[in-house]
Amino acid sequence: MPSKKNISNKSIKLIKYYKLINYNLIYNNQSINRYKNNFNQISGNKAKNLDNLKKMIANIKNCELKKNAKNIVFADGNPEAKIMFIGEGPGANEDQEGIPFVGRAGILLDKMLASINLNRENVYITNVVNYRPPENRKPTGEEINRYLPYLKKHIEIINPKILVLLGNTSMNALIDNEIVISKARGKWIDREFGKCKTSVIITFHPAFLMRQPAQKKMTWIDLKMIRDKKTKLNI
Ligand code: URA
Protein backbone atom coordinates (compact mmCIF):
# COMPACT_ATOMS: atom_id res chain seq x y z
CA MET A 1 0.00 0.00 0.00
CA PRO A 2 1.50 3.42 -0.87
CA SER A 3 1.75 5.74 2.09
CA LYS A 4 -0.42 8.84 2.39
CA LYS A 5 2.68 10.98 1.77
CA ASN A 6 3.43 9.13 -1.50
CA ILE A 7 -0.13 9.56 -2.79
CA SER A 8 -0.06 13.28 -2.24
CA ASN A 9 3.37 13.55 -3.90
CA LYS A 10 1.98 11.62 -6.85
CA SER A 11 -1.05 13.93 -7.05
CA ILE A 12 1.16 16.98 -6.97
CA LYS A 13 3.29 15.55 -9.78
CA LEU A 14 0.16 14.75 -11.79
CA ILE A 15 -1.22 18.27 -11.37
CA LYS A 16 2.14 19.70 -12.46
CA TYR A 17 2.10 17.38 -15.48
CA TYR A 18 -1.44 18.40 -16.47
CA LYS A 19 -0.46 22.06 -16.21
CA LEU A 20 2.64 21.41 -18.32
CA ILE A 21 0.70 19.78 -21.16
CA ASN A 22 -2.07 22.40 -20.93
CA TYR A 23 -4.66 19.70 -20.25
CA ASN A 24 -7.65 22.04 -20.43
CA LEU A 25 -6.85 23.04 -23.99
CA ILE A 26 -6.11 19.53 -25.24
CA TYR A 27 -8.89 17.56 -23.58
CA ASN A 28 -12.08 19.51 -23.67
CA ASN A 29 -15.47 18.36 -24.83
CA GLN A 30 -16.34 21.56 -26.66
CA SER A 31 -16.69 21.78 -30.44
CA ILE A 32 -13.47 22.20 -32.41
CA ASN A 33 -12.63 25.85 -32.93
CA ARG A 34 -9.65 26.72 -35.13
CA TYR A 35 -9.11 29.90 -33.15
CA LYS A 36 -8.63 27.80 -30.01
CA ASN A 37 -6.18 25.51 -31.82
CA ASN A 38 -3.81 28.44 -32.23
CA PHE A 39 -4.32 29.60 -28.71
CA ASN A 40 -1.53 27.68 -27.04
CA GLN A 41 0.99 28.85 -29.65
CA ILE A 42 0.54 32.52 -28.87
CA SER A 43 2.25 34.63 -26.27
CA GLY A 44 0.76 34.42 -22.77
CA ASN A 45 -0.36 38.03 -22.61
CA LYS A 46 -2.06 38.03 -25.99
CA ALA A 47 -3.91 34.80 -25.20
CA LYS A 48 -5.04 36.20 -21.85
CA ASN A 49 -6.11 39.53 -23.35
CA LEU A 50 -8.09 37.82 -26.12
CA ASP A 51 -9.72 35.52 -23.62
CA ASN A 52 -10.68 38.49 -21.43
CA LEU A 53 -12.01 40.40 -24.42
CA LYS A 54 -14.14 37.43 -25.48
CA LYS A 55 -15.52 37.18 -21.94
CA MET A 56 -16.31 40.91 -21.90
CA ILE A 57 -18.19 40.62 -25.20
CA ALA A 58 -20.05 37.57 -23.89
CA ASN A 59 -21.08 39.72 -20.90
CA ILE A 60 -22.58 42.57 -22.94
CA LYS A 61 -26.09 43.18 -21.60
CA ASN A 62 -29.33 44.25 -23.31
CA CYS A 63 -28.23 43.48 -26.84
CA GLU A 64 -30.93 42.36 -29.28
CA LEU A 65 -28.35 40.64 -31.51
CA LYS A 66 -27.28 38.42 -28.69
CA LYS A 67 -30.81 37.44 -27.74
CA ASN A 68 -31.42 36.06 -31.23
CA ALA A 69 -28.02 34.49 -31.92
CA LYS A 70 -26.91 30.92 -31.19
CA ASN A 71 -23.21 31.60 -30.69
CA ILE A 72 -20.67 34.34 -30.21
CA VAL A 73 -18.52 34.67 -33.34
CA PHE A 74 -15.25 36.03 -32.01
CA ALA A 75 -12.47 35.40 -34.53
CA ASP A 76 -10.62 32.95 -36.75
CA GLY A 77 -7.07 32.65 -37.98
CA ASN A 78 -3.74 33.25 -36.32
CA PRO A 79 -3.62 35.75 -33.44
CA GLU A 80 0.09 36.29 -34.19
CA ALA A 81 -0.67 37.28 -37.81
CA LYS A 82 0.44 40.70 -39.01
CA ILE A 83 -2.56 41.06 -41.33
CA MET A 84 -6.06 41.41 -39.88
CA PHE A 85 -9.37 41.39 -41.81
CA ILE A 86 -12.62 42.87 -40.49
CA GLY A 87 -16.01 42.01 -41.98
CA GLU A 88 -19.49 43.16 -40.99
CA GLY A 89 -21.18 40.53 -38.88
CA PRO A 90 -21.92 36.81 -38.77
CA GLY A 91 -24.48 35.17 -41.04
CA ALA A 92 -26.39 31.93 -40.44
CA ASN A 93 -23.42 29.59 -41.03
CA GLU A 94 -21.12 31.65 -38.87
CA ASP A 95 -23.74 31.76 -36.10
CA GLN A 96 -24.09 27.99 -36.30
CA GLU A 97 -20.34 27.31 -36.14
CA GLY A 98 -19.16 30.25 -34.04
CA ILE A 99 -16.48 31.08 -36.64
CA PRO A 100 -16.39 34.10 -38.99
CA PHE A 101 -16.61 33.72 -42.77
CA VAL A 102 -17.46 30.03 -43.07
CA GLY A 103 -20.41 30.47 -45.50
CA ARG A 104 -20.39 31.42 -49.20
CA ALA A 105 -18.76 34.80 -48.56
CA GLY A 106 -16.10 32.94 -46.56
CA ILE A 107 -15.33 30.66 -49.49
CA LEU A 108 -14.76 33.72 -51.66
CA LEU A 109 -12.68 35.36 -48.92
CA ASP A 110 -10.49 32.22 -48.78
CA LYS A 111 -10.01 32.47 -52.57
CA MET A 112 -9.11 36.15 -52.29
CA LEU A 113 -6.55 35.27 -49.61
CA ALA A 114 -5.14 32.39 -51.67
CA SER A 115 -4.70 34.69 -54.69
CA ILE A 116 -2.01 36.57 -52.75
CA ASN A 117 -0.58 33.52 -50.97
CA LEU A 118 -2.43 34.05 -47.72
CA ASN A 119 -4.63 31.69 -45.74
CA ARG A 120 -6.19 31.43 -42.29
CA GLU A 121 -2.87 30.34 -40.80
CA ASN A 122 -1.27 33.69 -41.57
CA VAL A 123 -4.13 36.17 -41.21
CA TYR A 124 -6.58 36.99 -38.42
CA ILE A 125 -10.28 37.57 -39.10
CA THR A 126 -13.09 39.15 -37.10
CA ASN A 127 -16.25 41.24 -37.60
CA VAL A 128 -17.66 44.59 -36.45
CA VAL A 129 -20.37 42.81 -34.43
CA ASN A 130 -19.86 39.42 -32.83
CA TYR A 131 -23.44 38.15 -32.95
CA ARG A 132 -25.60 37.49 -36.01
CA PRO A 133 -28.07 40.26 -36.89
CA PRO A 134 -31.49 38.59 -37.41
CA GLU A 135 -32.57 37.96 -41.03
CA ASN A 136 -29.01 38.91 -42.07
CA ARG A 137 -29.87 42.59 -41.78
CA LYS A 138 -27.09 45.13 -41.38
CA PRO A 139 -26.20 45.96 -37.77
CA THR A 140 -27.76 49.27 -36.69
CA GLY A 141 -25.71 52.32 -35.73
CA GLU A 142 -26.52 51.65 -32.08
CA GLU A 143 -25.35 48.03 -32.34
CA ILE A 144 -22.16 49.05 -34.12
CA ASN A 145 -21.40 51.64 -31.43
CA ARG A 146 -22.01 49.06 -28.71
CA TYR A 147 -19.39 46.70 -30.19
CA LEU A 148 -16.94 49.35 -31.42
CA PRO A 149 -14.88 49.74 -28.22
CA TYR A 150 -14.40 45.95 -28.16
CA LEU A 151 -13.43 45.91 -31.85
CA LYS A 152 -10.85 48.66 -31.28
CA LYS A 153 -9.46 46.71 -28.31
CA HIS A 154 -9.38 43.59 -30.49
CA ILE A 155 -7.26 45.44 -33.07
CA GLU A 156 -4.96 46.75 -30.34
CA ILE A 157 -4.43 43.25 -28.94
CA ILE A 158 -3.71 41.66 -32.34
CA ASN A 159 -1.55 44.66 -33.30
CA PRO A 160 -1.57 44.04 -37.08
CA LYS A 161 0.78 45.87 -39.45
CA ILE A 162 -1.91 45.73 -42.15
CA LEU A 163 -5.62 46.09 -41.45
CA VAL A 164 -8.05 45.19 -44.25
CA LEU A 165 -11.60 46.53 -43.92
CA LEU A 166 -14.10 44.47 -45.90
CA GLY A 167 -17.02 46.59 -47.03
CA ASN A 168 -19.03 49.59 -45.89
CA THR A 169 -19.82 48.58 -42.34
CA SER A 170 -16.24 48.15 -41.14
CA MET A 171 -15.13 51.20 -43.18
CA ASN A 172 -17.86 53.41 -41.66
CA ALA A 173 -17.27 52.09 -38.14
CA LEU A 174 -13.49 52.49 -38.11
CA ILE A 175 -12.60 55.22 -40.63
CA ASP A 176 -15.40 57.59 -41.52
CA ASN A 177 -19.17 57.49 -41.72
CA GLU A 178 -19.33 59.98 -44.57
CA ILE A 179 -17.08 58.34 -47.19
CA VAL A 180 -18.20 56.06 -50.04
CA ILE A 181 -16.40 52.81 -50.62
CA SER A 182 -16.00 53.24 -54.37
CA LYS A 183 -13.80 56.29 -53.65
CA ALA A 184 -12.17 55.11 -50.40
CA ARG A 185 -11.05 51.62 -51.46
CA GLY A 186 -7.55 50.85 -52.66
CA LYS A 187 -5.74 53.56 -50.64
CA TRP A 188 -3.43 53.21 -47.67
CA ILE A 189 -4.52 55.11 -44.56
CA ASP A 190 -2.31 55.33 -41.44
CA ARG A 191 -4.32 54.81 -38.26
CA GLU A 192 -3.70 54.22 -34.56
CA PHE A 193 -5.87 52.04 -32.36
CA GLY A 194 -4.55 52.47 -28.84
CA LYS A 195 -0.91 51.40 -29.01
CA CYS A 196 -1.36 49.78 -32.43
CA LYS A 197 -0.09 51.80 -35.41
CA THR A 198 -1.26 50.22 -38.62
CA SER A 199 -1.77 50.71 -42.35
CA VAL A 200 -5.43 50.37 -43.24
CA ILE A 201 -6.85 49.51 -46.65
CA ILE A 202 -10.54 49.31 -47.56
CA THR A 203 -11.79 46.84 -50.13
CA PHE A 204 -15.14 45.41 -51.22
CA HIS A 205 -16.87 42.83 -49.04
CA PRO A 206 -16.90 39.32 -50.60
CA ALA A 207 -20.73 39.18 -50.26
CA PHE A 208 -20.94 42.37 -52.35
CA LEU A 209 -18.57 40.84 -54.91
CA MET A 210 -20.89 37.85 -55.26
CA ARG A 211 -23.69 40.26 -56.20
CA GLN A 212 -21.46 42.50 -58.34
CA PRO A 213 -18.78 40.22 -59.87
CA ALA A 214 -17.68 43.01 -62.24
CA GLN A 215 -16.12 44.72 -59.19
CA LYS A 216 -13.72 41.79 -58.67
CA LYS A 217 -11.19 43.49 -60.95
CA MET A 218 -11.03 46.45 -58.54
CA THR A 219 -10.60 44.05 -55.63
CA TRP A 220 -7.71 42.41 -57.44
CA ILE A 221 -5.97 45.81 -57.50
CA ASP A 222 -6.48 46.09 -53.72
CA LEU A 223 -5.25 42.54 -53.13
CA LYS A 224 -2.07 43.26 -55.09
CA MET A 225 -1.55 46.37 -52.95
CA ILE A 226 -1.81 44.18 -49.84
CA ARG A 227 0.65 41.68 -51.34
CA ASP A 228 3.14 44.47 -52.19
CA LYS A 229 2.80 46.08 -48.76
CA LYS A 230 3.41 42.71 -47.14
CA THR A 231 6.63 42.36 -49.14
CA LYS A 232 7.69 45.94 -48.36
CA LEU A 233 7.09 45.46 -44.62
CA ASN A 234 8.81 42.07 -44.77
CA ILE A 235 5.93 40.24 -43.10
N1 URA B 1 -20.04 38.32 -43.66
C2 URA B 1 -19.34 38.97 -42.72
O3 URA B 1 -19.20 40.19 -42.76
N4 URA B 1 -18.80 38.27 -41.75
C5 URA B 1 -18.91 36.96 -41.66
O6 URA B 1 -18.38 36.38 -40.74
C7 URA B 1 -19.64 36.29 -42.66
C8 URA B 1 -20.21 36.98 -43.65
Residue 38 domain-assigned (yes or no) = no
- Portion of the chain with pLDDT greater than 90, in percent: 80
Residue 190 domain-assigned (yes or no) = yes
Q: Kindly list the protein residues whose Cβ atom lies closer than 6 A to any atom of ligand 1.
A: 87-91, 94, 100-101, 103, 105-106, 127, 207
Residue 40 domain-assigned (yes or no) = no
Q: For position 217, what pLDDT does the model report?
A: 98
Q: Which atom of ligand 1 is nearest to the CA of 99?
A: 6
CA of 10 to the centre of ligand 1 (A): 49
**Tens digits of residue pLDDT in 129-160:** 999 999 989 999 999 999 999 999 999 999 99
Question: Distance (Å, rounded) from C-alpha 166 to C-alpha 169?
Answer: 8
Residue 37 domain-assigned (yes or no) = no
Residue 218: which domain range? 4-28+45-232
**Tens digits of residue pLDDT in 20-56:** 444 444 444 444 444 444 444 567 799 999 999 999 9
Residue 74 domain-assigned (yes or no) = yes
Residue 113 domain-assigned (yes or no) = yes
Average of per-residue pLDDT across 161-181: 97
CA of 233 to the centre of ligand 1 (A): 28
Whole-structure pTM value: 0.83
Residue 34 domain-assigned (yes or no) = no
CATH number of the domain bearing residue 185: 3.40.470.10
CA of 71 to the centre of ligand 1 (A): 14
Give Cβ neighbours of residue 66 (< 8 Å, ≥ 6 apart). 60, 131
**Tens digits of residue pLDDT in 77-86:** 999 999 999 9
Mutate to test the pocket of ligand 1, among 70, 74, 88, 99 (most ligand atoms within 8 A of CB): 88
Q: How many domains does the chain have?
A: 1
Residue 39 domain-assigned (yes or no) = no
Q: What is the dihedral of CA 100, 38, 147, 60, to 10 degrees?
A: 110
